[in-house]
Amino acid sequence: MAFKSSPRALAGAALAFVCLATSATAEPYKIVGFGDSLMAGYGLDAGQSFPEKLEQAMRAKGHDVVIVNAGVSGDTSSGGLARLDWSVPEDADLVVLELGANDMLRGVPPQITERNLDTMITRLKQRPVAVLLAGMRAAPNLGPEYRAAFDAIYPRLSEKHAAPLYGFFLDGVAADPRYLLDDRMHPNAAGIDRMVERFVPHLEAVIAATPAGSAP
């Protein structure tokens, strides 16, 4: 026995097939954590770095993301600029840019740090890749003038490039020994969990505003 389908039914079936095919072939949202030892996972066991824990947290909330760890311990903004092009894959959708802490610890003039970060953001946007800027703050012992100049870098670049800013990458962890390794500088595993918990809502907002392939 033959069955006849109406044009509307056929159109609905075709649309359903297209939707299924699209969802089956959709690529995950690709994020690169580009930074220094704070991103690399200095002093932590395998699987405990910020990018790894962040990916786990995002996937647990239903986000199809892949987060690559492109952190290099000891890296400065100058080092990051030198390796930017080959460290960030061509198919990246978003870069979490976290650099400047080592510049600050070495007393690098803030204008150099700002120039390097500015160049990195410009290059990424030209590719185009979206950028979420992770801010850093200067240590109090560097003096009020240096601290004011350094701390202003990140809000200024965020405004210049219309790039979302996470104000302080170590928010909730800095200066709290419960969340730091014995060096009192790098987060321990509990510190990473705390950082991830605070960071997730900001990342979700950025992803919602910049779907894959829509970077400026």
Which pLDDT score is estimated for 87? 96
Of 127, 48, 136, the residue nearest 87 (C-alpha): 127
Which pLDDT score is estimated for 3? 39
Quote the CA–CA distance of 33 and 131 in Å, as a whole number.
Answer: 10
**What are 132's strand-pairing partners?**
96
Quote the CA–CA distance of 92 and 62 in Å, as a whole number.
Answer: 20
Mean pLDDT throughout 133-141? 96
Is 183 marked active-site?
A: yes
Quote the CA–CA distance of 55 and 199 in Å, as a whole number.
Answer: 11
Which pLDDT score is estimated for 44? 98
Q: Which of 36, 171, 186, 202 is catalytic?
A: 186
**What are 31's strand-pairing partners?**
67, 94
What is the chain's mean pLDDT, rounded?
A: 90
For the segment 43-70, what is each residue's pLDDT rounded down to a tens digit? 999 999 999 999 999 999 999 999 999 9
Token pair belonging to 144 = 């009020």
Is 158 marked active-site?
A: no
SS3 labels along 58-124: HHHCCCCEEEEEEECCCCCHHHHHHHHHHHCCCCCCEEEEECCHHHHHCCCCHHHHHHHHHHHHHHH
pTM: 0.87
Which pLDDT score is estimated for 216? 64
Tell me if 134 sits within 8 A of 35, measured CB to CB: yes
Token pair belonging to 33 = 């954590």
Please give the class, per CATH, of domain 27-209.
alpha beta
29-62 core/surface letters (b: 16 or more CB in 10 A; e: else):
bbbbbbbbbbbbbbbbeeebbbbbbbbebbeeee
Helical residues (DSSP H) of 152-211, grouped into ranges: 153-161, 189-209
Of 49, 122, 54, the residue nearest 84 (C-alpha): 122
Q: Delimit the domains of the chain by residue range.
A: 27-209
The one-letter amino acid at 14: A
Q: Which of 77, 78, 183, 193 is catalytic?
A: 183
Mean pLDDT throughout 198-202? 98
Mean pLDDT throughout 134-160? 97
Is 202 marked active-site?
A: no
Q: Which of 36, 37, 93, 158 is catalytic?
A: 37
Which pLDDT score is estimated for 21? 41
